[in-house]
Every structure is written in structure tokens, then in C-alpha cells.
Structure 1
Amino acid sequence: MSSDEGEAAMTDKASYDRLQKDVDAVKSDISNLAEQITDALNGLAGTAQKQARRGYKQARSSVDGIVSDLSEQGSAAFDAAQDAAATLSESLEDAVQQRPLAAVGLAIGLGFLIGVTWRR
């Protein structure tokens, strides 16, 4: 083996060793990058989950408030309807007591109209 061949072999060996170190460094960098990406994705997932929970709680609170308001409005409407029915009942009683013959005539007339309509 000549000295040129020996020098070339040593140069090739040194180049190979440097290339191997570079490949190992790139592998390590890729591994670190993969870990960083995994951590970032886990962080994003946790943040998204927290935001989803917060949104759910806000929506539920809004729905509960709306249901409560509707319940109160329904109760108020029911009370108003009961009051109106009671007032109408009292008005009819007063009208019948004041004009009993007119009330009987009105009842007979309404009965006749309903009977004629019912036959058709």
C-alpha cells in the first residue's frame, strides 16, 4: 500500500466519521423536534378542551337563564289568564242576575245557532 493510498483511506475514514456524527446530530434534532411538536399538540388539545368546557358552561348558564325567564313569563301569563277568567265569570254572573230573561233568551239563541251549525 502506498502512502497516497493510506492518506486517501484516512481521509475517507475521517470524512465517514464526520458524516456519521452529522447524521447522528440530525437524528437527535429530529427526535427533539418530534418531542416539541408532541408537547405543543398536547398543549393545544388541553387548551381546546378547556375552552370547550368553558363554552359549554356558558351555554348551559345561558339556557338555564332563558328557561327560568320563560318559566316566569309562563307563570305570569297563566296568572293573568286565571284573573281574566275569574273576571269574565263574575261579569257573566252579574249580567245574569241583573237581566235573567235576557240571559235565558241569549242562551236559547246560542243553543239554536250551535244546533243548526252542528246539523250541517
Structure 2
Amino acid sequence: MATQKSETDELAAQIDAIKAEMQNISATMGRIAEKGMHRAQDKAFETKESAEEAIKQNPLQAIAIAVGLGLLIGILTRR
């Protein structure tokens, strides 16, 4: 009986260790995902600002591109 109790206690300790390790892994994955999200937001903001600057420098070209894309999307969605 004592051996069975010690094996049960050892198994419970291993399960607790696995749970703790899973929580650590989950927390680490969360931090990694958050950093990636912040990098993506920063990149999107930089891209938005560079697009705005390009539009300010070449407004007619920007309008022509927008009209062309609109026509292309219109043609593709008709089919």
C-alpha cells in the first residue's frame, strides 16, 4: 500500500509539474504573439504614413491608380 501511495503522489507531482510547464509555455507564447502584433501594427502605421506621403506628392497619379483599380475590380466582380 505504501508503494502505491508513493507512486500516486509521484504521479500527482509530475502532473503538477506538467501543468506548471504548460502555463509557462502559454505565457511565453502570449508574449511572443503580443510582440509580433506590435511589430505588425508599427509596420502598418509606417506603411500608412508612406502611402499618405506618396499621395500628397503625386495626387493625380494616386487618383489615376484608384480609378484604374476601381475599374479592374468592377470588371472582375461582374463576371
TM-score (normalizing by structure 2): 0.95
The equivalent of 2:31 in structure 1 is: 72
Deviation at 1:106, TM superposition (A): 0.5
For structure 1, the 5+ residue unaligned runs are 1-41
* Correspondences of 1:76-91 after superposition (within 5 Å): 76-91=35-50
The equivalent residue for 1:58 is 17
Amino acid at match of 1:47: S
Partner of 2:61: 102
Shift of 1:88: 0.8
The structure whose Rg is larger is 1
Offset at residue 70 of structure 1 (A): 0.4
What's the CA shift string for 1:14-58, capped at 9, x where partnerless?
xxxxxxxxxxxxxxxxxxxxxxxxxxxx11211111111111111
1:48 aligns with 7
- CA deviation profile, 1:42-83 (whole Å, cap 9, x unmatched): 112111111111111110111011101100011001101100
Measure the CA separation in 1 of the matches of 2:75 and 2:8. 69
Note the C-alpha offset of 1:97. Answer: 0.3
Task: Provide structure 2 residue ranges, at least 5 long, that are not aligned to the other structure.
Answer: none
Paired residue total: 79
Q: Percent of aligned positions with the same letter in both sequences?
A: 28
**Where does structure 1 differ by over 4 angstroms across 4 or more consecutive aligned residues?**
none
Q: Which has the higher contact order (CA 8 A, sep 6+)?
A: 2
